[in-house]
């Protein structure tokens, strides 16, 4: 972009100070045995990341490089999530600016090449309240009163009402429906109310089994962004197939969607929508591994164009 204004207003030295470090950071997701998994590195709970460097041809290729180097995993589908400026970084090197560009990536676990210093964890370890596949999780019984307590603790009445409403919408209180796409809003509410480790000085934090595992820096927030994006996207774009093996049964496909959404789907309705949209075609083979009647195997119809062109695909996720 041209900035004629800048050239005139600032000297060359001041301009130099405008530079910033740029980090690329990845939320890499796979689904195994109906469990949505996140790729982490090191012993700690850290997302793969690295600086955008001169030798990178593009932001995306830089990200692919870092992830492959740190984890041995080649990435397929990639999508930019959000860019933010890291604050609270001043001090280390005075007046240094850092920008983080985060991405969502989808793969399959088997595609690892090297061992590397990395591992997979269910993303529900970090967000125990997000898994509603076996009904409302018990941790919500603990979090709900504390959220209400937080809301009531506000000084003025307006703030109290606003907090109550936000909590009610995000967590489905007062017989509202649970909306699985509000993952980020829920995380932010728990952060604001200091119910999770990253938020406060560890004073009133609930045990990890309730508030979930913490992550380095703001990585858990980035993960929440990725989950929300993915949960929203599977409803109108055929991205699930990036997570599937070449051939699969319809129930396996359903279980994968359910794992991501964190809620159950009505089986016949799911089949109806998948079939009537012609997203898949039969391979002709069947799978006997199911225990009951053999299931037909399907493959993704690649005639369905990729993300950039397809519009209008939908997956049925019960609202009520």
Interacting residue ranges for DNA, rule: CB under 7 A = 249-251, 266-269, 271-273, 286, 288, 290-296, 314, 316-320
Residue 140 corresponds to which tokens in the numbers above? 């919500």
Q: CA-CA distance, 318 to 241, in Å (whole number)?
A: 20
Q: Considering beta carbons, is residue 87 or 293 the nearer one to DNA?
A: 293
Distance set, CA 124 to CA 20, 49, 83, 183, 262 (Å): 34, 21, 24, 11, 9
Q: How far is the CB of 316 from a second copy (least distance, A)?
A: 16
Query: Out of a second copy, DNA, none, which partner does residue 269 contact, by CB within 5 to 8 A per kind?
Result: DNA
Q: Considering beta carbons, is residue 116 or 250 the nearer one to DNA?
A: 250
Query: Out of a second copy, DNA, none, which partner does residue 94 contact, by CB within 5 to 8 A per kind?
Result: none
Query: Out of DNA, a second copy, none, which partner does residue 310 contact, by CB within 5 to 8 A per kind?
Result: a second copy
Q: How far is the CB of 293 from a second copy (least distance, A)?
A: 37
Task: Give the SS3 label for residue 160.
Answer: helix
Q: What angle do CA 34, 39, 45 make, to 5 degrees?
A: 115
Q: Which helix (H) or strand (E) holds 90?
A: none
Q: CA-CA distance, 309 to 311, in Å (whole number)?
A: 6
Contact positions vs a second copy (CB under 8 A): 1-6, 15, 17-23, 25, 42, 46-47, 49-54, 58-59, 69-70, 80, 82-87, 95, 97-101, 162, 165-166, 169-170, 179, 181-182, 185, 188, 216-217, 219, 305, 308-312
Place of tokens 């000084």: 155
Q: How far is the CB of 124 from DNA (least distance, A)?
A: 22
Query: Out of DNA, a second copy, none, which partner does residue 125 contact, by CB within 5 to 8 A per kind?
Result: none
Strand ranges (E), 66-201: 77-85, 98-106, 118-122
Strand-pair partners of 296: 286
- Spatial CA neighbour of 106 closest among 227, 236, 275, 271: 227
Q: Considering beta carbons, is residue 180 or 218 the nearer one to DNA?
A: 180
Q: CA-CA distance, 168 to 56, in Å (whole number)?
A: 45
Q: Considering beta carbons, is residue 127 or 270 the nearer one to DNA?
A: 270
Q: Considering beta carbons, is residue 48 or 210 the nearer one to a second copy?
A: 48
Query: Out of a second copy, DNA, none, which partner does residue 15 contact, by CB within 5 to 8 A per kind?
Result: a second copy
End-to-end CA distance of the chain: 47
Q: Considering beta carbons, is residue 122 or 249 the nearer one to DNA?
A: 249
């Amino acid at each position: 972009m041209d900035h004629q204004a800048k050239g005139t207003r600032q000297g060359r030295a001041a301009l130099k100070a405008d530079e910033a470090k740029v980090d690329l950071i990845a939320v890499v997701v796979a689904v195994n045995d109906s469990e949505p998994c996140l790729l982490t590195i090191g012993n700690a709970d850290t997302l793969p990341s690295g600086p955008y460097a001169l030798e990178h041809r593009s932001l995306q290729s830089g990200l692919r490089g870092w992830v492959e180097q740190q984890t041995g995993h080649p990435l397929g589908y990639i999508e930019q999530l959000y860019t933010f400026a890291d604050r609270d970084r001043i001090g280390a090197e005075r007046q240094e600016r850092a920008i983080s560009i985060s991405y969502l990536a989808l793969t399959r676990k088997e595609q690892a090449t090297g061992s590397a210093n990395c591992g997979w964890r269910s993303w529900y370890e970090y967000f125990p309240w997000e898994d509603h596949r076996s009904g409302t999780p018990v941790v919500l019984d603990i979090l709900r009163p504390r959220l209400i307590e937080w809301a009531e603790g506000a000084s003025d009445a307006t703030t109290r009402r606003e907090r109550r409403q936000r909590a009610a919408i995000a967590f489905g209180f007062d017989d509202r429906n649970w909306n699985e796409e509000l993952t980020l809003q829920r995380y932010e509410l728990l952060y604001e109310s200091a119910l999770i480790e990253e938020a406060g000085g560890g004073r009133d934090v609930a045990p990890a089994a309730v508030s979930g595992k913490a992550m380095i820096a703001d990585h858990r927030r980035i993960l929440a962004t990725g989950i929300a994006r993915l949960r929203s996207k599977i409803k109108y774009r055929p991205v699930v197939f990036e997570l599937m093996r070449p051939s699969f049964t319809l129930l396996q496909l359903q279980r994968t969607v359910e794992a991501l959404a964190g809620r159950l789907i009505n089986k016949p309705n799911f089949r109806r929508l998948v079939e009537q949209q012609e997203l898949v075609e039969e391979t002709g083979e069947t799978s006997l591994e199911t225990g009951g009647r053999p299931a037909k195997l399907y493959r993704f119809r690649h005639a369905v164009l990729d993300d950039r062109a397809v519009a209008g695909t939908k997956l049925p996720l019960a609202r009520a």
